[in-house]
Structure 1
Amino acid sequence: MNKFNLLLVFVLSFLIFSCGSNNGKKKSDFSIQIPNNKSEFSINEELQASVVNSKNRSIDSVSFYFGDQYLKSSKDGTNLQLDLKDVLLGNQTLKAIVYSEDKTDTLTKNIKVLNSEPPVVYTYQIINSYPHDMTSYTQGLEFHDGILYESAGQYGKSKLRKLELESGEVLQEIELDDQYFAEGLTILDNKIYQLTWQEGEGLIYDLESFEKTGSFGYNQSKEGWGLCNNGQKIFKSDGTEKIWILDPETLAEKSFIQPTHHKSISTKLNELEWVNGKIYANTYQKDGVAIINPENGAIEGIINFSGLRDKVTQHDKLDVLNGIAYNSETDKLYVTGKNWDKIFEVKIVKK
């Protein structure tokens, strides 16, 4: 067979395959229509949408989804009314699967869901202060059974530490290999979980022996920033608009929330702490700590810690606020920063 015949066979095969398939590249006869082409909604609104049938094809049924959540299916039902009060906030996808004449069309529409109320603004009062190692580039801070645990970062200087709050004494310490830049930490089921920044790997330690027992990968996210847990689930920030919810057994990133207030979706949320049913998260290089509803991602409050950095020893390596620790046994909240020589016990006050 000569080259021309081979080419002809290839072209004919391609045309036959293309005509017989509905692989999604062909423009659909259906589309999702939202009144006024609206794409941004408040959580207290209702989303109305319909499937437009431009060629009047016979429709067997339509199934609607919001993100991965199945909503409804109906025969010849092309209209949707969705109360947004119980959905996840942030960037979401409305999907409709149309079954028509032995073909399936998958339609999508991108929308943004914002919180309906602005965050409550809080300030702080300093109740007490305690010594903190000025050389510690704090990335994660957490209490467990009254003992303070800290993850300190930077290449060649990263550590995992067990501390006594009152004296600042280091009770135990592990130095990480130079290849790691340590980030956030959390403690669950007698295990310490510590993130690394861009190495795509989290480290696991035995709480009692302080020995490394394993590691885990990052699946979908590229970086590790902050960690916290609610006693069952582990939450992980990665610098994007997502806070991932990890499977506590496999540490796989199963789902996520998007911290969102009444105007936009937040990014660069760093150190995380679980406080009385909410996630506290500081924004990298900012003095604010967001109070986040873990159910839908709503930012319900902002704590303004402006001025706190001025109350520590000023030096050339002094860096930003980072480090939130809540002692559930005493109901006390503590904050510090990178290369700060103090840890502050603070009381949060509505402004």
Structure 2
Amino acid sequence: MTATPARRLTRVPRGGRYHEAVRPRLLPALLPLLLFPLGAAQTVATPILMPSVVARYPHDRAAFTEGFQYLGNGTLMESTGIEGQSGVRRVDLKSGKVLARVATPIATAFGEGVTALNGVAYHLTWEDGVAITFDAGTLKETGRYRYSGEGWGLTTDGKALIMSNGSSTLVWRDPKTFRVTRSVQVTDAGQPVKNLNELEFVQGNVYANVWLTDRIARIDPQTGKVTAWIDVAALTREASAAAVKAGRPLTFDDVPNGIAFVPERGTLLLTGKRWATVFEVKLPGVKPEVTAPTGQGRASH
């Protein structure tokens, strides 16, 4: 999700001996029980995937990125946080130039995720409980919805909106009413995965930045199980080194946040809060596809 110096940070956070004569016969049979005692869960480690960088693009160092989505035709939609600096913008991917922008209409709000579906952009606020809609083309405000709890990340599967609130729960919302239609708890090896932040729906999976970490969870939306972890620590190190070289080191909350799917290339665009770079990466299991631009049918936070 988001972080400011005032934000709460409480979330940071053998076998036996056998007689030589019987060992050959007993050990193979007993080994499963030694490793997995009766009643214990026999879990398999969740795969860790390493992204491969194929391109780099400039990114506004002042952008405290909360939502990130590829609209097609080399254009991104991005939302930013921080009270008084929050807003939604369209950005040229190659140059990093801001093509259009609008401030979050509630002046005191901390802006959060954004996603576009059928020409409508939905923008969350952190603690105000208000989702604001804009015309995705003109960025003119078109309406508001109320919701309970915090707002963090937002994406869409092409039909419903999918939202995170900083917990381990993802909720699906009706884009016409913003009412919750279903929810799922995200778990890894049976344990809840908290601090789910910026989201992206990619080829049947939900990808989620985990706040204050260098990990992106790939989530099965039906079961909530994490099916893989994407390790972006190398990207964080590169972004941090560049910031130090420029004389503006990253702060503790300038963490990875921002996932956008480029369907025609089968790549992901990854960035972070106040990073100077957008990384285009290849990831195992993600393939190019022919589809409508995300801003028309599918989207991300």
Q: TM-score, normalised by structure 1?
A: 0.64
The higher-RCO structure (CA 8 Å, 6+ apart) is 2
Residues 115/203 of structure 1: CA separation in 2 closer, same or farther (3 Å cut): farther
2:87 aligned partner: 159
2:278 to 309, 328, 343: 343
In structure 1, what residue type is equivalent to 2:214? Answer: D
1:190 to 106, 119, 122: 119
Mapped partners of 1:203, 1:305: distance in 2: 31
Mapped partners of 1:163, 1:250: distance in 2: 28
1:272 to 162, 180, 199: 199
Aligned 8 A contact 2:88 2:102 in 1: yes
Shift of 1:116: 5.6
Shift of 1:136: 0.4
1:171 aligned partner: 99
Match runs of 1:292-307 below 5 Å? 292-307=219-234
Name structure 2 gaps, 5 residues minimum.
1-40, 286-301
In structure 1, what residue type is equivalent to 2:156? Answer: N
Matched, 1:236 2:163: yes
1:326 to 261, 270, 277: 261
What SS does the corresponding residue of 1:310 show, helix, strand or coil? helix
2:138 aligned partner: 209
Mapped partners of 2:127, 2:200: distance in 1: 21
Match runs of 1:123-134 below 5 Å? 123-134=50-61
Shift of 1:143: 1.0
Q: Deviations over 1:279-330 (max 9, x none)?
A: 0001000000000001111110000111212212222454101001111132
Mapped partners of 1:115, 1:249: distance in 2: 43
Mapped partners of 2:185, 2:68: distance in 1: 23
Shift of 1:262: 1.3
Residues 253/117 of structure 1: CA separation in 2 closer, same or farther (3 Å cut): farther
Q: What is the CA RMSD across the aligned residues, in angstroms?
A: 1.7
Aligned 8 A contact 1:115 1:262 in 2: no
Q: TM-score, normalised by structure 2?
A: 0.75
In structure 2, what residue type is equivalent to 1:325? Answer: A
Structure richer in strand, relative to its length: 1
Aligned 8 A contact 2:79 2:112 in 1: yes
Match runs of 1:69-218 below 5 Å? 117-146=44-73, 147-176=75-104, 177-218=106-147
Mapped partners of 1:329, 1:203: distance in 2: 29
What SS does the corresponding residue of 1:148 show, helix, strand or coil? strand
Match runs of 1:241-252 below 5 Å? 241-252=168-179
Residues 266/173 of structure 1: CA separation in 2 closer, same or farther (3 Å cut): same
1:59 aligned partner: none
Match runs of 1:26-105 below 5 Å? none
Total equivalences in the alignment = 235
Q: Which runs of 4+ in 1 moved over 6 A?
A: none
In structure 2, what residue type is equivalent to 1:241? Answer: S
Mapped partners of 1:212, 1:250: distance in 2: 16
Aligned 8 A contact 1:227 1:272 in 2: yes
Shift of 1:118: 3.4
In structure 2, what residue type is equivalent to 1:271? Answer: E
Mapped partners of 2:45, 2:126: distance in 1: 32
What SS does the corresponding residue of 2:224 show, helix, strand or coil? coil
Aligned 8 A contact 2:208 2:216 in 1: yes
Shift of 1:254: 2.4
What SS does the corresponding residue of 1:307 show, helix, strand or coil? helix
Mapped partners of 2:42, 2:207: distance in 1: 17
Q: Deviations over 1:198-236 (max 9, x none)?
A: 010111001122101111111xx4100000101101100
In structure 2, what residue type is equivalent to 1:142? Answer: Q
Matched, 1:223 2:150: yes
Aligned 8 A contact 1:115 1:261 in 2: no
Mapped partners of 1:307, 1:120: distance in 2: 17
Mapped partners of 2:115, 2:259: distance in 1: 12
